[in-house]
Amino acid sequence: MAYAAFRSIGAYVPEKILTNDDLSKMVDTSDEWITKRTGIKERHIAAENEFTSDLGVKAAQKALERSGIALEDIDLVVTATISPDYFCMPSTATIIANKLGIKGATAFDITAACTGFIYALSVAKAFIESGMKKNVLIVGAEKLSAITDYTDRGTCILFGDGAGAAVISATDNKEEAIIDVHTGADGEYADLLMTPNGGTGSAHDSLDAEAGTCFMQMKGNETFKVAVRTLTKDVKEILEDNNIKSEDIKHFIPHQANLRIIKAVGEALKMREDQVVITVEKYGNTSGASIPMAINDLYESGALEKGEIMLLDAFGGGLTWGSALVPFAPLK
Ligand code: UT7
Judged by average pLDDT, the poorest of 22-26, 27-31, 85-89, 154-158 is 85-89
Mean per-residue pLDDT of the chain:
95
Taking CA atoms, 284 is separated from 102, 155, 156, 157, 263, in Å, by: 31, 11, 10, 8, 15
Mutate to test the pocket of ligand 1, among 82, 221, 287 (most ligand atoms within 8 A of CB): 221
**What pLDDT does 1 receive?**
81
CA dihedral over 302, 6, 185, 289, signed as positive or negative = positive
pLDDT category of residue 201 using cuts at 50, 70 and 90: confident
Residue 220 near residue 38 (C-beta atoms within 8 A): no
pLDDT category of residue 209 using cuts at 50, 70 and 90: low
DSSP 218: E
Which amino acid, one-letter code, is at 24? S
Percentage with pLDDT > 70 across the chain:
96
pLDDT category of residue 99 using cuts at 50, 70 and 90: very high
Judged by average pLDDT, the poorest of 41-50, 222-231, 253-262 is 222-231
* C-beta pairs of 149-155 under 8 Å, 24+ apart in sequence: 149/212, 149/215, 149/216, 149/217, 150/26, 150/27, 151/26, 151/27, 151/212, 152/27, 152/212, 152/215, 152/217, 153/27, 153/28, 153/29, 154/218, 154/220, 155/215, 155/216, 155/217, 155/218, 155/220
Q: Could you tell me if the CB of 20 is within 6 A of ligand 1?
A: no
Mean pLDDT of 284-307: 98
If you measure from the C-alpha of residue 168 to the centroid of ligand 1, how many angstroms do you get, rounded to a whole number? Answer: 37
**What pLDDT does 203 receive?**
62
**What pLDDT does 332 receive?**
82
Delineate the domains of the chain, giving CATH numbers in brackets.
Answer: 1-332 (3.40.47.10)
**Active site (catalytic) residues:** 114, 255, 285
pLDDT of 205 higher than 80: no
pLDDT category of residue 213 using cuts at 50, 70 and 90: low
Mean pLDDT of 179-199: 92
Kindly report, residue by residue over 121-142, the tens digit of the pLDDT: 999 999 999 999 999 999 999 9
pLDDT of 208 higher than 70: no
Q: Phi/psi of residue 50, each to 5°?
A: -105, 115
If you measure from the C-alpha of residue 220 to the centroid of ligand 1, how many angstroms do you get, rounded to a whole number? Answer: 6
If you measure from the C-alpha of residue 259 to the centroid of ligand 1, how many angstroms do you get, rounded to a whole number? Answer: 13
Kindly report, residue by residue over 137-170, the tens digit of the pLDDT: 999 999 999 999 999 999 999 999 999 999 999 9
Mean pLDDT of 41-57: 98
C-alpha 260/C-alpha 250 separation (Å) is 21
Q: Could you tell me if the CB of 24 is within 6 A of ligand 1?
A: no
* For ligand 1, atom 6: residue with the closest CA: 224
The runs of H, that is alpha helices, within the chain are: 20-24, 31-38, 52-67, 92-100, 116-129, 220-241, 259-268, 280-283, 290-300
Q: What is the pTM of this model?
A: 0.96
Mean pLDDT of 52-71: 98
* 19 HSE (CA, 13 A, CB side): 4
